[in-house]
Amino acid sequence: MKAVLLAAGEGTRIRPLSADVPKPMLPVADRPLVAHTADAAIDAGATELVLVVGYEADAVRDYFGDSYRDTPVSYAVQERQRGTADAVAAASDHLTDEPFAVLNGDNLYDPDSIARLFDAAPAVAAVEVDDPRNYGVLETADGAVTGIVEKPEEPPSTLANAGAYVFPGDARDWLEVPESDRGEYEITDVIARVIDTYTVTPVTLERWLDVGRPWELLSANEWKLADLERRLDGDVSDDADLRGAVVVEDGATVEPGVVIEGPAIVRSGASVGPNAYVRGATLIDRDASVGNAVEIKNSVLMTGATVSHLSYVGDSLLGRNVNFGAGTTVANLRHDDEPVSLDVKGDRVSTDRRKFGVVVGPDVKTGINSSLYPGVKLSAGATTLPGEVVDRDR
């Protein structure tokens, strides 16, 4: 079965991390987010991937090329983000009369559940949630999906739409749907037409994560890093103490005096130490650098990010080529113990995390001894002065 992966979105809610890379290409453990979606599809039996690309499409093409894990990959371009039905319609030339799967390229799925979804075709994946009012909610009767209602005041079930579907081949002719109230062409309107002709099975996923906002990228890394198996292929000093599920890739360096508590990955080209303390779940991506007397905890340092001296980074996301000056300190806990909140497209939104640090866009440079408040976002290329206390976004 072909699997269409929707990866055309920019990810406006996850800005500034998506300033130079589309959200589906943000790193989760040792690969981009959308590669985990591809893995779930392939593990479930997908024989071909069709990636729908748009914003910063080349980043996706460069990663996957024309084959991924021996599975052919092709691309469909969605010029403008006009909705999920429009995204699948962009891929219609790649589809045949056979059933096809559609998966959101920014969601993590457990592969076993996706295998059950594929077996149940036509089918819609769902997750059990306590409060479904902010989701598309499945209506069901006699074990079949009878409708999906967007963000209902009175939800008909606790089954939230998880953005994974298997359509019958006919659905290729049903992709042109009317514009919705929010001005998009929605895949749920395609499902409504499938329901008219077919019995559509709801398949409840064991585990699912929609990566929309910055802290959800941290959750995604926590999920995938928890599956790590210890592997030390890089250059690790005899005087380093690596505890638990730690991966040091070939081409990475860990210097004397370093303590790493897994789960953590130090990717190829990255260096840690001397005398640094890294606590899981942490990703130190390619060519990133963690220097002397630096402590990193539960964080993601993207490609080329550098924290060289005497700094603390906790529960934070650092974009590509960020440079933290000596003594930069991230606060990740409020004195009132309230969950840390963040500005997401103009709204203050709780992360539901007691501990959360900062979200730092690519190429940001902090001056020495900068102090960063919890929940602060620094946009791409921003700078701070030496000794500055940064208590709001910039």
Give the residues lining the site for ligand TTP (CB under 6 A): 6-14, 23, 52, 78, 81-84, 86-87, 104-106, 184, 212
Burial profile 175-202: b = 16 or more Cβ within 10 angstroms, e = fewer: bebeeeeeebbbbbbbbbbbbeebebbb
Residue with the CB atom nearest ligand TTP in the bound state: 9
Cα gap 24→151, rounded to integer Å = 24
Q: Which residues contact 180 (CB under 8 A, 6 or more apart)?
A: 83, 186, 189
CB-wise, 33 or 270, nearer to ligand TTP? Answer: 33
Cα gap 228→132, rounded to integer Å = 32
| Alpha-carbon distances of 362 from 16, 42, 64, 305, 388, rounded to whole Å | 8, 32, 23, 8, 19
Contact (Cβ atoms closer than 8 angstroms) between residue 17 and residue 299: no
Beta strand 208-210 pairing with 107-109: antiparallel
Contact (Cβ atoms closer than 8 angstroms) between residue 234 and residue 264: no
Which structure tokens are listed for 25?
């290409």
Residue 195 is classified by DSSP as H
CB-wise, 9 or 357, nearer to ligand TTP? Answer: 9
Question: How many C-alpha atoms does 110 have within 13 Å on its Cβ side?
Answer: 13
- Radius of gyration, CA atoms only, the chain: 22
Contact (Cβ atoms closer than 8 angstroms) between residue 200 and residue 153: no
Contact (Cβ atoms closer than 8 angstroms) between residue 214 and residue 317: yes
Q: Is 309 a catalytic residue?
A: yes
* Residue 146 main-chain phi, psi, to 5 deg: -110, -10
220 residue type, one letter: A
Kind and range of the H or E element at 272?
Answer: strand 271-272
What spatial distance separates the first Cα and last Cα of the chain, rounded to whole Å?
46
- Which of 36, 94, 309, 335 is catalytic? The answer is 309
Residue owning tokens 């799967």: 101
95 residue type, one letter: L
Which residues are annotated as catalytic? 309
